[in-house]
Amino acid sequence: MNDTGAGGCIILLDVPPRSSIALDGITRVTPSSPLTSAPRSSSSSGFNRGLFIIDSISASSQFHLLVVRCGTSKERSKHDQNHGGSLPVGFVLLSKQSAVDGARLSSNYGYDWIFARRYDRQTEEISNKPLDEVTLGNLMLAITEQGGELKKIIMPYEQFMGSSNDSKNILSWTERTSLIDHSFLQKRHNLCHGDKIIPSCESSCDDRDVSYSSNMKDMSTETDGTSITYPPIPCIDRAMSARQLSRHSGTRSYISTLHPSLRTWLLSGGECCSPSDAQVYASSPEEYIWKDLLNRYCNADNDDRREGEHNFLADIQFAFLIFLFLECHSSLEHWRDAVSMSSLTMTTPTTFESTRDARVQTYSLPIHQSNFTLQLLSTLYAQLSCIETDFFQEVEYSSGDNNFLVGALRRLRLACGGLDEMNETVKMIKKESSRLDKLALDRFHLQISTSPNLSDNSFENEVANKSLETEADQHDVECDDDNLRKEQLDPDEMDDEDGPVIVPISEVEASISRSSVELLQAQKHCTFIDAENEYDLRTRYPLLYAAMAPQEDLLMCCARILDDRNDVSLVREAASYLETVEAHRT
């Protein structure tokens, strides 16, 4: 019987050679031959003839993540290398309080929980089905009985985590997953102990309710696992044009569910006449998005804002882990958008109505939501501490200095670095912000603080200047940080130069001839729209109407969508609409 009488046990059966097994961020590789067992001091100890066993898994952390990338035979090794290798799959492992699968059998052998799975030769992955009781019982007898033949190959959890070079200079797993618990996984992603996670190709879920994966369990039976989906996260920077903002998939999906007047207010500012803003009070579009997302992250029977903040931060931690260990692109996008949206909200000035002096403006979120800000900075520090140092050079959507994360980190540093030290929490925020700044400089050679010795007066002046620039012209901002955000969503737009341009007369004549042809086509198109009910068109093509930019008709919008090919659903609607127009003309 287990000596400690506590902890969990992982048993993997028929694991192929050269398989990669990662538990709580530490990776081991099985031997290249299934007939040899590695010595106990080797990095692959715990493996013998396709059997891999880890026990005494600590219950100090509520959440453990097991990731297995199965190896392949020599015949398929070259083929898999050319096609990116086998895909990793993950398994959710929870603590004693949440582990109910096989609880009776686990307690009989002195463990809090037992996770046992077999390699499936058909899917070439670790199966989602537990071992049968007979097989598991025989294995446990060989493991726990005195002198059992499998007892000598068991690898304790502490040895698995402590003797690897990967464990050095990395924050503890408990600190990196401090907000992920059983309640969050069950209510937000419908995940329980032992559930299998497979990388998802879905970038987001358009359902307004954040319990977006409530039906994933039924859908996952066909794919032998659960695909993680996320709600759309908008990133609305009012210094950018509505057309630039609408190209962001999360923003486009989010605003497509809103009232038209509310959508206009979020993209263009001004007065909001939507009945929705009576439900969630906000003085700015960024604040409205912030409060609306937190409400979506709250449970239906609980409107506690603190629960929404907890679930939102837990999703940032969870999405980062799924992206890092399961190579899930949709999780990378959600993590990117969540961090960017938070930074945009934090750098939104709040104007007090009692005075017109811009110097009294400050950033509202770091002060009024100080606990959230502190947890976000701590989470980002833990995540950047364990990621590869070449992340900013090689990872998609994060290449070079001008990328989403650098801009977000600089906005966070700007919002937190100049706060007045009013209480202990604000002092901790400033300390954590400085620590994040130092980590970015030492580990990635990135300077996220534009002025390291930022004084209070210079900070207030920067806030005032930012507010005046936003009110004067939202589309012409000379600040380097705003130009950085423009490059994030639409780098092609930055190629345009201000100033006079000499156009040859031949191009002018060709443009006039094209305009006459387009005018005739537009007249025919208007006849088609008049003949049909515009309300029916909006009902049939909601995404198409939501993606229309200012001074753009449906045909121009369809042409742009088919040219960009950024969204599959938009491309389908545009093609369907053009087919309808062509059928009407013929």
The answer, yes or no, to whether residue 132 has pLDDT greater than 60, is yes
**What average pLDDT score do residues 310-324 get?**
95
The answer, yes or no, to whether residue 480 has pLDDT greater than 60, is no
The answer, yes or no, to whether residue 353 has pLDDT greater than 50, is no
pLDDT of residue 263: 83
The answer, yes or no, to whether residue 360 has pLDDT greater than 50, is no
The answer, yes or no, to whether residue 126 has pLDDT greater than 60, is yes
pLDDT of residue 105: 60
Measured CA to CA, the distance from residue 392 to residue 349 in angstroms comes to 29
Neighbouring residues of 573: CB distance < 8 A, sequence distance ≥ 6: 541, 543, 544
Percent of the chain clearing pLDDT 90 (strictly above): 23
Q: What are phi and psi of 374, to 5 degrees?
A: -65, -45
Percent of the chain clearing pLDDT 70 (strictly above): 65
Enter the DSSP assignment of 490. -
Helix (H, G, I), strand (E, B) or coil at 39: coil
Measured CA to CA, the distance from residue 227 to residue 294 in angstroms comes to 23
Nearest to 362 by CA among 468, 461, 473: 461
Nearest to 184 by CA among 96, 100, 94, 112: 94
How much is the mean pLDDT over the chain?
A: 74
pLDDT of residue 402: 55
pLDDT of residue 203: 55
pLDDT of residue 364: 58
Between these two residues, 239 and 181, which has the higher pLDDT value? Answer: 181
Nearest to 292 by CA among 397, 208, 215: 208
- Kindly give the interhelix angle for 305-326 and 285-297, rounded to the nearest 10 degrees: 80
- What the chain holds in terms of domains, given with CATH numbers, is 8-174 (2.60.34), 242-495 (no CATH), 505-585 (no CATH)
Cα 542 to chain centroid distance, Å, stands at 26
Measured CA to CA, the distance from residue 111 to residue 57 in angstroms comes to 9
The per-residue pLDDT for range 182-211, each reduced to its tens digit, is 999 999 999 999 999 988 766 555 444 444
The per-residue pLDDT for range 245-302, each reduced to its tens digit, is 888 888 889 988 888 888 888 887 666 555 454 444 577 788 888 888 888 887 655 5
Measured CA to CA, the distance from residue 489 to residue 175 in angstroms comes to 32
Strands (E), 2-80: 8-13, 20-23, 26-29, 47-48, 51-57, 63-69
Pair 141, 32: CB distance under 8 Å: no
The per-residue pLDDT for range 133-171, each reduced to its tens digit, is 899 988 988 888 776 778 888 899 988 987 555 554 456
What are the Cα distances from residue 577, in Å, to 242, 545, 566, 568?
23, 11, 17, 14
Enter the DSSP assignment of 274. -
Neighbours of 375 (CB within 10 A): 21
Nearest to 226 by CA among 184, 187, 191: 191
| Residue 116: band (very low, low, confident or very high) from pLDDT cuts 50, 70, 90 | very high
The per-residue pLDDT for range 548-570, each reduced to its tens digit, is 887 788 888 888 898 888 888 88
Neighbours of 277 (CB within 10 A): 16
Enter the DSSP assignment of 279. T
Paired sense of beta strands 196-198 and 226-227, if any = parallel
pLDDT of residue 489: 47
Pair 338, 312: CB distance under 8 Å: yes
Measured CA to CA, the distance from residue 357 to residue 461 in angstroms comes to 11
Helix (H, G, I), strand (E, B) or coil at 169: coil
Measured CA to CA, the distance from residue 331 to residue 84 in angstroms comes to 19
Measured CA to CA, the distance from residue 16 to residue 496 in angstroms comes to 55
The residue type of 134 is V
pLDDT of residue 169: 47
pLDDT of residue 9: 92
Neighbours of 10 (CB within 10 A): 24
**Burial environment of residue 329 by CB neighbours within 10 A (0 to 12, 13 to 18, 19 or more):** middle
The answer, yes or no, to whether residue 102 has pLDDT greater than 70, is no
**How many residues can be counted in the chain?**
586
Neighbours of 497 (CB within 10 A): 6
**What average pLDDT score do residues 495-521 get?**
64
Between these two residues, 205 and 67, which has the higher pLDDT value? Answer: 67
Q: What are phi and psi of 27, to 5 degrees?
A: -115, 140
The answer, yes or no, to whether residue 77 has pLDDT greater than 90, is no
